[in-house]
Amino acid sequence: MTAVMSTVAAVDLGASSGRVLLGRVGDGKLHAEEVHRFPNGPVRLLGSLHWNVLSLYQEVLVGLRLAAELGSVGLDSIGIDSWAVDYGLLDARGALLGNPVHYRDSRTEGITPPDGLYQVNGLQFQPFNTMFQLMAEPLLAHASQLLLIPDLLSYWLTGERGAEYTNATTTGLIDVRSGQWSAELTRDLPKGLLPELRHPGDPAGTHEGVPVTAVGSHDTASAVVAVPAGNDRFAYISCGTWSLVGVELDSPVLTEESRAANFTNEGGVDGTIRYLRNVMGLWLVQECLRHWGTPLEPLLREAADARGTVFDPNDPVFLPPGDMPARIQRQCGRTMTRPEIVRSILDSLALAHRDAVADAQRLSGKEVEVVHIVGGGSRNELLCQLTADACGLPVIAGPAEATALGNVLVQARAVGAVHGTLADLRTLVRESQQPRRYLPH
């Protein structure tokens, strides 16, 4: 599987922070080191919530310069992934029309999906999906083209435009069967608004002489590449701000039962389908910590022995930023200490993970023997153990840097440093990382 050694830069943008990593792949080894980290978060302006995308771009440039300096022999490729659904609109000159709106903005409140939509795009209903944001977009009439966040940054690096497929499937505008922009769902959009599709591994231009490669630019698509599974009988939880819980399939599940269960069919690397349900995730903890101004670790130690109260973590009341502890206590119907609030969140997430794993098996017919938790949440030992207990299945936790590693691996394969299928890439992850195993009690 392994060919020559390659050195690549992985730009990984999350909802609370971004970073640039230097990845080295070859001789049967996979390694990634963080060279630059920077904050990311919403900016409220005139009543709307935005991303500070120009600051993100400047930080990406800083990180790429550092990666090039540390790469010794130079970079072979650059790849970018980020969160999904959000976008920038360009005018006829290619200039950004306005700062991209944050998906947690309230502008899509009250929007309902049209009948029959699930049979076309296969997506669970989320009011912040791109197609619904466009219904509330005042700049749409002035726009020449739409670029999702990773594609926007790639365009600024290279001058070339495109829409990477895995992220494009989260817009709600892709026909899940054909894998192309849906003529039916895009007929009312300005002509030319949506650029041509790219797939993971495709060239996306050059930046200062370095090739830019399309990766699984939806961060979950990259994370699933780096699940260290030994066979295909696994469920995954990409656990961070959100928990994306599901299984990997060869074709979508478009039954009415699947739609009612709020499961989504998103595109994965190598033509796979990420059949999953969104669970609110560690956003609940992050907002509590921000409100309290306290670190997590001491609270986790106390939460291990605290009494929690289970609530529905997917209630829309938890979507916007704000006083999260107060909202959780209202939902639980009691006043709680900080450790009790944290324990309530983790108990509730573990049960939501259990339900999603069970439903994914039932609806897809795919049997699961193990649950892989990847991403930052894999470091949360209490959550991992509670998830194993709830699911009644072994949990393999790690790598925490799965998104960056998946980004690195797709680039490395594109430049010829490794060869093979997703199973081959996962073998390299498994042999290069040391995940932790949790058995159900």
Q: Residue 90 is inside which H or E element, if any?
A: strand 87-90
Question: Which residues make beta-bridge pairs with 197?
Answer: 163
**In whole angstroms, what is the distance from residue 199 CA to residue 204 CA?**
10
Please provide the DSSP assignment of 378-428 as one string.
Answer: GG-HHHHHHHHHHHTS-EEE--TTHHHHHHHHHHHHHTTSB-S-HHHHHHH
**In whole angstroms, what is the distance from residue 160 CA to residue 35 CA?**
26
Assess whether 202 carries a catalytic annotation.
Answer: no
| Nearby residues of 220 by Cβ (< 8 Å), 6 or more positions away | 84, 238, 244, 266, 274, 276, 403
Are 387 and 237 in contact, with CB atoms under 8 Å apart? Answer: yes
Please provide the DSSP assignment of 166-225 as one string.
Answer: HHHGGGT-EETTTTEE-HHHHTTSPTT-SPPEE-TT-EEEEETTEEEE----BHHHHHHH
SS3 call for 326: helix
Tell me which residue has tokens 């938790």.
373
- Which one of 219, 347, 359, 389 is the catalytic residue? 219
Which residues are catalytically annotated? 219
